[in-house]
Amino acid sequence: MRNPSRNALARLAALSLGALAAGPASADSGTVTGKVIVQPARFQDETVVYLKGVPGTRPATTHEMDQKNMKFLPVVIAVATGDTVKFLNHDEADHNVYSPDNEAFNLGTFKSEETRSHTFEEPGVYRIKCSIHPEMLGYVFVAPSRHAAVIDRKGRFTITDVPPGTYQLAVWNANLKGPEKAVTVAAGKTVEETITIRR
C-alpha cells in the first residue's frame, strides 16, 4: 500500500486542527479560544466550534481530505462558503466521493493517487461518503464565515482575527448537542470559553 509523503501528512495534521482563522491576530482584532468537553469522549473527533454573525469576508482557500486505510482523514474539516476541498486517494482501491446533503454532489469514481475537487457554495454540514465502501464517513462543515475551528485531540480550539463585537459561539457535533454562548471580543484581547456537549 502506498504511503503519502511527509509533506502530505504534515498538511493533513494541520487540517485536523481545522482552524480557518489561522495565524496571529492583528492589533485591531481579537481571539476566541477555549475547550470543548465532549461526553462521551468517543465523539470528540467530529466537533467544530464557530462564531455566528461575524462580518467581513476573505479570499477563498483550498483544503484537503484524504482517503487512506478505507477512512476519510481527517474525519471532519471546517471550511468557509466558497472554499474548495481536494479529495485525495492514498488507498490502492478505487473510491467514490459524494454527499447527499445541501448542494448534493457526486465526484464519480477515481483511482489511487487521483484527486477530485468540489467548491462548497452553501453553508451547512455535508456528510462525505463513498458508494463503493459504505462504511466510510467523513464530514465537511461549511461555516458562513472563516471563523470556525475543529477541536484538537485535547478538546482545544482557537479562532483568531475576530473583529471586535459580540457574537454567538456555537458548537456542531455529528452526535451531540451543546449550548450557544454570547462572547464579546475586544481588539487585541483573548476570550476563553469552556463548553460541554452531550446527548
CATH of the domain at 83: 2.60.40.420
Higher pLDDT, 2 or 163: 163
Does a structural domain hold residue 1?
no
User: Is 58 a residue whose pLDDT tops 90?
Assistant: no
Does a structural domain hold residue 166?
yes
What pairing do the DSSP bridges indicate for beta strands 156-162 and 148-150? unpaired
Q: Which domain holds residue 82?
A: 6-198
| Beta-carbon-side half-sphere exposure of residue 18 (alpha carbons within 13 Å) | 30
What pairing do the DSSP bridges indicate for beta strands 137-143 and 124-129? antiparallel
Does a structural domain hold residue 180?
yes
Q: Where are the alpha helices (DSSP H) in 74-186?
A: none
Mean pLDDT along residues 19-35: 71
Q: How many other C-beta atoms lie within 10 A of the C-beta of residue 10? A: 11
Does a structural domain hold residue 170?
yes
For the segment 161-199, what is each residue's pLDDT rounded down to a tens digit? 999 999 999 999 999 999 999 999 999 999 999 999 998
For residue 26, the model assigns a pLDDT of 60
Closest alpha carbon to 47 in 172, 162, 156: 172
Does a structural domain hold residue 168?
yes
Return the SS3 of 60. coil
Q: In this prediction, what percent of the chain has a pLDDT beyond 90?
A: 82
What pairing do the DSSP bridges indicate for beta strands 105-110 and 95-99? antiparallel
| Beta-carbon-side half-sphere exposure of residue 159 (alpha carbons within 13 Å) | 31
Closest alpha carbon to 79 in 175, 172, 181, 184: 172
Full-model pTM = 0.85
Gap between the Cα atoms of 54 and 156, Å rounded: 21
| Confidence band, pLDDT 50/70/90 cuts, at residue 18 | very low
Mean pLDDT along residues 7-34: 57
Gap between the Cα atoms of 156 and 150, Å rounded: 9
| Confidence band, pLDDT 50/70/90 cuts, at residue 57 | confident
Number of domains in the chain: 1
Does a structural domain hold residue 52?
yes
Does a structural domain hold residue 73?
yes
Gap between the Cα atoms of 8 and 159, Å rounded: 24
Does a structural domain hold residue 156?
yes
Q: How many other C-beta atoms lie within 10 A of the C-beta of residue 7? A: 8
